[in-house]
Amino acid sequence: MMSSLAKFGASIAKEARILGRDRQALILFFSMPVVFVLILSLSLRDAFGDRPGATFPVLVVAQDSAEVGHAIIQTFRANPHIQLALSRTASEAQARQWLIDGHYRFVVLVPAGATDQAKRRLGEILASVPPELRIEKPVEIRVLADPAMRADYRQVLESSVDLVLHGVEMRLAREQVEQTLRATQGENHMPLPDMENARLFGAVQGETVTKQGRGQTPSSVQQNAPAWTLLAMFFLTVPLSVSFIKEREQGSLFRLQTMNVPAWVVLGGKAVPFFVINQIQMISVLAVSVHVLPLLGGDRLDLGNAPFALALMGACASLAAIGFGLAVAMYARTTEQAAGFSSAMVMIMGALGGILVPKAVMPPLMQDLANLSPLSWGLDGFQDVFVRGGGITDVLPEALGLLAFSAFCHGVGILRYQGRI
């Protein structure tokens, strides 16, 4: 056994030496995930979470400067997600062109005399004029949208305009009733209740629930840091499988087999340096996400309070990736086959597993299918810690899944190496 351990150590040293001499590859292994996390976390920072930075430009063409125009402007001005631009004179055609040119994501058109028209219509309603005899039509406030904007954003904006108009309706109705009372009962008319401050329901309180009760939602960096770490880990299957096939082509594997070197020494000796690289990849991505990203204006990654859970996830994800690489190497006949197949499979597993496209935006069927991907298990495990405040026990299902995948792949690889399958 001691002899096998010494051989194991020599195999690790040999592989580390070979890897260490390929400086360009090493630089790529470590820089790729870091660069991806930096770029994507900064680019997508507004697409995740409930953060004031997630803004889009909205033009309000308020040709009406009375209550209706004023209410919409005030409401949008107070909304941190909206960069408000105001025009009193722009025509609809101009506004449409600005939208097409990409200057604005939304345009809200408030026609001239909107408030007066609303008041006249209210007068007819309060005078009990039957609908078919009313002269004034409902005031039309229109929202024009950039087709690139997500439908849910459009709906939110339309709803918020609707809400503003509903408030204006209430206020105008109260004023009209008060005027009528004043006209019929004089200045000492029966007082009206203060409807402005008489809401029956409090403002809706949104809260996200985590184990520790901290109300954070996943940010861009909380999605991208684990996602690209996992993808980088699995992408290491390409050089791993290629290096194995090269050894086979060069004949050194043949030589080791004739020397009766145990399979675990040969495969393990190759796996350990790649495992170490995986761990360094993870640590460097996390370090950059915590310390560098905020300096560039991005969110700081909250690592949670479970370092052992993170270490467990990192180890299990790496073992899964290495097992996959070894299994590919055992079945691929050429380096081209191994590189092509493993990179394609990693991209597919990444796309399916919520790495490239977050699972949250997938339809239900795809979210179910995502659970087939080991990368999805890894991402869930990391987000258990980062987003949901979980610990070791929370990440155990994902960690065990990755370990089972790793054991299966290693088993297939070893049996194939020994010529048993």
Measured from the CB atom, the residue of 3 and 128 that comes closer to another protein is 3
Binding of another protein by 333 (CB under 8 A):
no
Of 164, 225, 238, 261, the residue at the interface with another protein (CB under 8 A) is 261
CB of 419 to another protein, least distance (A): 8
Binding of another protein by 77 (CB under 8 A):
no
Measured from the CB atom, the residue of 8 and 228 that comes closer to another protein is 8
Binding of another protein by 3 (CB under 8 A):
yes
Binding of another protein by 257 (CB under 8 A):
yes
Residue span binding another protein (CB under 8 A) among the ranges 14-22, 102-110, 205-213, 223-231: 14-22
Contacts with another protein by CB under 8 A: the residue count is: 22
Binding of another protein by 6 (CB under 8 A):
yes
**Ranges within 104-163 binding another protein (CB under 8 A):** none
Measured from the CB atom, the residue of 96 and 246 that comes closer to another protein is 246
Please name every residue paired with 43 in a beta bridge, in sequence order, or none if there are none.
none
CA distance 287 to 254: 42
CB of 308 to another protein, least distance (A): 35
Measured from the CB atom, the residue of 67 and 247 that comes closer to another protein is 247
Residue span binding another protein (CB under 8 A) among the ranges 141-149, 217-225, 252-260, 374-382: 252-260
CB of 409 to another protein, least distance (A): 24
Of 52, 186, 191, 251, the residue at the interface with another protein (CB under 8 A) is 251
Residue span binding another protein (CB under 8 A) among the ranges 10-18, 134-142, 181-189, 392-400: 10-18
Of 40, 141, 256, 310, the residue at the interface with another protein (CB under 8 A) is 256
Binding of another protein by 250 (CB under 8 A):
yes
369 Cβ neighbours under 8 A, 6+ residues apart: 352
3-state per-residue secondary structure call for the chain:
CHHHHHHHHHHHHHHHHHHHCCHHHHHHHHHHHHHHHHHHHHHCHHHCCCCCCCCEEEEEEECCCCHHHHHHHHHHHCCCCEEEEEECCCCHHHHHHHHHCCCCCEEEEECCCHHHHHHHHHHHHHCCCCHHHCCCCCCCCEEEECCCCCHHHHHHHHHHHHHHHHHHHHHHHHHHHHHHHHHHHCCCCCCCCCHHHCCCCCCCCCCCCCCCCCCCCCCHHHHHHHHHHHHHHHHCHHHHHHHHHHHHHHCHHHHHHHCCCCHHHHHHHHHHHHHHHHHHHHHHHHHHHHHHHHHHCCCCCCCCCCHHHHHHHHHHHHHHHHHHHHHHHHHCCCHHHHHHHHHHHHHHHHHHCCCCCCHHHCCHHHHHHHCCCHHHHHHHHHHHHHCCCCCHHHHHHHHHHHHHHHHHHHHHHHHHHCCCC
Residue span binding another protein (CB under 8 A) among the ranges 12-20, 167-175, 344-352, 357-365: 12-20
List the x/- string, 229-248, binding to another protein by CB under 8 A: ------------------x-
**Ranges within 348-367 binding another protein (CB under 8 A):** none
Measured from the CB atom, the residue of 23 and 137 that comes closer to another protein is 23
CA separation, residue 387 to residues 21, 196, 379 (Å)? 39, 39, 11
List the x/- string, 16-35, binding to another protein by CB under 8 A: -xx--xx-------------
333 Cβ neighbours under 8 A, 6+ residues apart: 245
Of 191, 202, 260, 297, the residue at the interface with another protein (CB under 8 A) is 260
Task: Catalog residues that contact another protein under the rule CB under 8 A.
Answer: 3, 6-7, 10-11, 14, 17-18, 21-22, 247, 250-252, 254-261
